[in-house]
Amino acid sequence: MRFIPLSIAGAFLIEMEPITDQRGYFARSFCRDEFKARGLAYEFVQCSIACNRQRGTLRGMHYNRSAQGEAKLMRCTRGALYDVLLDLRAGSPSYRRWIAHELTSATDRLIYAPPGVAHGYQTLEDDTEAVYWMSEPYRREAQAGVRWDDPAFGIQWPISQPILSARDRAYPDFDPA
Question: Is 101 a known active-site residue?
Answer: no
The single residue of 62, 82, 112, 119 carrying the catalytic annotation is 62
Report the candidate in 102, 107, 103, 98 with the shortest Cα–Cα distance to residue 147: 98
The single residue of 95, 121, 132, 138 carrying the catalytic annotation is 132
Catalytic residues: 62, 132
